[in-house]
Chain A
Amino acid sequence: MNYPIWEPLVFGGGLVIGIIAILHVFVSHFAVGGGLFLTLTERKAYRENSPALLEYVKSHSKFFVLVVLVFGAVSGVGIWWSISLVNPEATATLIHVFVWGWAIEWVFFIVEIAAAFIYYYGWDRLDPKTHLRVGWIYFGAAWASLLVINGILTFMLTPGRWIETPTFAAAYFNPGMVPSLVVRTAVCIALAGVYALLTSASIPEPALRSAVVGYAAKWLLAGTVIIPFAGIWYISTLPASAREISMGGAPAVTIFAGLSIFFSALVMAFAYFGPHRRPRQFNAVFAFLLAVLALSTTAVTEWVREAVRKPYIIYGYMYSNGMRVADLGSIQAAGTLKSARWVRRHEVDPKALERTGEEIYRVQCASCHTVDGYNSIRFAVKGWSWSMIDYQLAHLSSLKGYMPGFVGTEAERQALGAWLVTLNPLPADITIQPEASAAGSQATETMGKGVSQP
């Protein structure tokens, strides 16, 4: 509405953000948990006086730096880049509310990166005590950066008191913040185990390999034991409608929520019966499959977390298409085309009804839908007659609770319907009889032939 709409081909904005975000989450939680793993394992090596274990920690720290400092950092910037392109309005709002939060996170990033390099380059320069201290500084800064960003993320789903009391504290200390922090911290510990299994599986010396594999499996199991309990706590803080979506309200979301539980259980079972019980038989292929499974768990869980927020991007405040709840009245009165800045026409043009409708689609629908790709609108209205489309548009938010209602004048709604009906040409031999209640003056209703008016 306020910003130009970028339609990233078949991906749609949601998928562009999703792909970057899921990969980032999988690495950034390792950035936190892996820091704790390195430090505690290094300490263990000193205590057990095991140069072999220390050698492993050294090589793991190289892997850590290559994954975390490069991919973790750049993909984190990537999320920011993608949300500001797909949802500029929401991004701008978040930055206005949380800029000092992000500034604080930035301080932690600087400490984190400096500590990571000094830890990595310091193996031969620093005495063990100082080196460990640098490891603790790294972990402290990394976890603190999670502490900051976690509150901003949960704000979007559970903004809590902020809607009435728009202060930083009300926004940051929102209902989902603490339980989500516990979940994410547990995920960090579990992922530290997953990544450690990846590197430990290829330790050449069998005794050390099975010792480290068994040790890494404990990290994974410890994390996965906490996650379900903290998860239930977190879910209890969600708005009722968000819970409904994940528990039957929207089948796709419910399936993904089920998959999240199923994959988590699989990870736990594989970790227990594999590396934990039989560390000797564990190998690189098993480690890789376990990592893929953990990535899949991350993917479906993050997807569900995003999906249950529908129809909002900031719950109760801003819809997924960037419209503020508070602005609906004025947009409704003035019309979408008059309120939108980036349209080619500000009136419904009866001579170009479909093209007007397409512009309205772009403003109201294209932040979630694509025409032919992800969440395809062509597919969504396949087989729908004009009157069916118009009825759906008129009652969108009550019929589909996870979608924002259509906002605009009646003429605009009809223009949108006129464009939607052209998306699926119907075989010429099929015609639909008029419906007495909806069709009014129409004699015969035909789909797919550019029927432009009711």
Chain B
Amino acid sequence: MNPVIPAPVPVPLPAPPWLLEFLLVFTFILHILAMNFLLGGVIVVTVSGFLGRRDSRHRELRRRVSRALPPVTAFTITLGVAPLLFLQLVYGQLYYTSSDFMAWYWLAVVLLVLVGYYCIYYYQLQYEEIGTGPPWVMLATAILLVLVAFLFVQNITSMLHPQDFYRLFLSGQVGTILGSVTSVNIARLAHFVVAAVALAGLGIALLSQRWRVDSPDLAAWGRRYGVTWFMGGTLVQFLVGLWFLFSLPVEVRQSLIGEKLAVGLLASGLFLALLALVTAPSSLAVSSVAILGTVSVMAVLRHWVRLAYLRPYFDPRSLPVRGQWAVFFLFVALLLAGLATVGWMLFVFYRPSARRA
């Protein structure tokens, strides 16, 4: 039976699919980096809150990390807008359908994020006011954020299976159909959560380098603590990644290991991860650049997997295109101007002389 897929809107795409998909993957990388620091940061602060309860270094580390979490949350949300925008533009026929099936759950994402965000602020303000934060608040936030990640995995995986749409439609009431929680979905979720913990560890190690002037001991310890999380997470990730790879459907996996380019990407991603792992104790800069490479390569592979899943049913290249180039270049120009403005603000904020008399 032919899969039931909604018809595309009769308005052409405002740019060729390759450009939209490039922007989708590129902005996804920005979002996923912020998301890793957020989710992983919350998990690390939670663990530190329970295991390092009486340790003053742990307490100071939590205070400083929790101060960074609100901006990280804001950027996770905002940076997530762009990839979802391009996803809806190119894959809307699939995304809106899978979202509608699980509409109640999908709408709950907004509420979960809102509550999680306020929890993060509550925790941070508690630190400012009474010098400590209740660990259970961070635990609750971690649970909320993992739930959000779970719902994302469910929806973004479900949209890759248009052949199941009509069966899902018949299986229950639209809005309450979460779809089955398969081993692929669990492996995918684990892949994201473990990556988040590792990346946040590296983030904490980097952040602690800013404390070298005012508290060198804390900076040295924070670096070791963050690197431990990074290395532990990355080691676990090799296993989880393998699990994820081998839980993919055979056709999808074959399209990965049967194509030279994909194998090359996968190999370079693994190599960069290994490089990041071995250099982490000695050079955070090398390790960070390497892991940024891994994240980027993995995001491209993730897109590859999406195309492989959809190949029999949907090809974005079949959609009509009429470029809106003038406004596209306006966007590019404003993006550059915007980044320059943010750069200037960060410069004046972090320059050493920046401190009011």
Give the B-binding residues of A (Cβ under 8 A).
2-8, 16, 20, 66, 69-71, 73-75, 77-78, 80-82, 84-85, 88-89, 91-93, 95-97, 99-104, 106-111, 113-115, 117-118, 121-127, 130, 134, 137, 141, 166-169, 324, 326, 341-342, 344
- A-contacting residues, B341-357, CB 8 Å: 341-342, 345-346, 348-349, 354-356
Compute how far the CA of A224 lies from the CA of B4 in the bound complex, rounded to whole angstroms: 51
Can you identify 15 A-B contacts, CB atoms within 8 angstroms?
A2-B6, A3-B96, A7-B174, A91-B88, A92-B92, A95-B85, A104-B334, A106-B82, A110-B338, A111-B341, A115-B345, A118-B345, A124-B356, A125-B349, A125-B355
Main secondary structure of the interface of A (DSSP, over half): helix
Given the known inter-chain contacts A93-B9, A100-B330, A127-B356, please indicate yes or no for A106 contacting B85, CB distance below 8 A: yes
Query: In the bound complex, what is the Cα–Cα distance between A182 and B81 (angstroms)?
Result: 27
Kindly provide the distance from the CB of A142 to the nearest chain B CB, expressed in whole angstroms. 13
CB <8 Å contact, B356 and A125:
yes
Q: Is the CB of B78 within 8 A of A167?
A: no
Across the interface, A85 reaches (CB within 8 A) one of B71, B103, B326, B356, namely B103
Contacts of B346 in A (CB 8 A): 114, 118
Whether A108 pairs with B117 at a CB distance below 8 angstroms is no
Interface string of B82-114 (1 = CB under 8 A from A): 100110110011001101110110110110011
Q: Which of B13, B77, B85, B92 contacts A74 (CB 8 A)?
A: B77
Distance, CA A91 to CA B97, complexed state (A): 13
Min CB–CB distance A381 → chain B (angstroms): 23
Which residue in chain B gives the minimum CB-CB distance to A93?
B9
Q: How far is the CA of A95 from the CA of B96 in the complex (A)?
A: 12
Contact B107 A101 (CB under 8 A): no
Residues of B near any A CB (own CB < 8 A): 4, 6-7, 9-14, 23, 70-71, 74-75, 77-79, 81-82, 85-86, 88-89, 92-93, 96-97, 99-101, 103-104, 106-107, 109-110, 113-114, 117-118, 121, 169-170, 173-175, 324, 326-328, 330-331, 334-335, 338, 341-342, 345-346, 348-349, 354-356
Q: Are B349 and A121 in contact (CB under 8 A)?
A: yes
Q: A70-B121, A81-B109 are in contact. Are A134 and B345 (CB under 8 A)?
A: yes
Residue of B nearest to A5 (CB): B174
Residues of A close to B328: CB separation below 8 A = 100
- Residue from B7, B93, B341 with most neighbouring chain A CB atoms (10 Å): B341
Residues of A within 8 A of B117 (CB): 70, 74
B74 touches A8 (CB 8 A): no
Give chain A nearest CB distance to B250 CB in angstroms. 29
B interface SS class: helix
Contact A70 B118 (CB under 8 A): yes
Question: Are B175 and A8 closer than 8 Å at their CB atoms?
Answer: yes
CB closest residue in chain B, given A88:
B96
C-alpha spacing A4/B118, complex, angstroms: 33
User: Do residues B174 and A6 form an inter-chain contact, with CB atoms below 8 A?
Assistant: yes
Complex Cα spacing A95 to B170, Å:
29
* Distance in angstroms between the alpha carbons of A3 and B89 in the assembled complex: 15
> Of B7, B89, B97, B175, which is within 8 A of A95 by CB?
B89
Measured between C-beta atoms, what is the minimum distance from A111 to chain B in Å? 5
Evaluate contact between B334 and A69: CB separation under 8 angstroms.
no
Given contacts A74-B113, A107-B334, A125-B355, contact A91 B345 (CB under 8 A): no
Asked whether, in the complex, the Cβ of A77 is within 8 Å of the Cβ of B110, the reply is: yes
Are A96 and B334 in touch, CB under 8 angstroms? no
Pair B100/A103 contact, Cβ less than 8 Å: no
* A7–B103 CA distance with the chains assembled, in angstroms: 9
Known: A20-B110, A91-B96, A95-B92. 12 other contacts (CB 8 A): A8-B103, A74-B114, A77-B77, A81-B107, A85-B99, A85-B106, A88-B99, A88-B100, A103-B335, A117-B71, A118-B345, A168-B14
Question: Which residues of B sit under 8 angstroms from A78, Cβ to Cβ?
Answer: 107, 110, 114
Write out the residue numbers on chain B whose beta carbons fall within 8 Å of the beta carbon of A118: 345-346, 349
Q: Report chain A residues within 8 Å CB of B9.
A: 89, 92-93, 96
**B356 adjacent to A111 (CB under 8 Å):** no
**Residue from B14, B100, B103, B173 having most chain A Cβ neighbours under 10 A:** B103
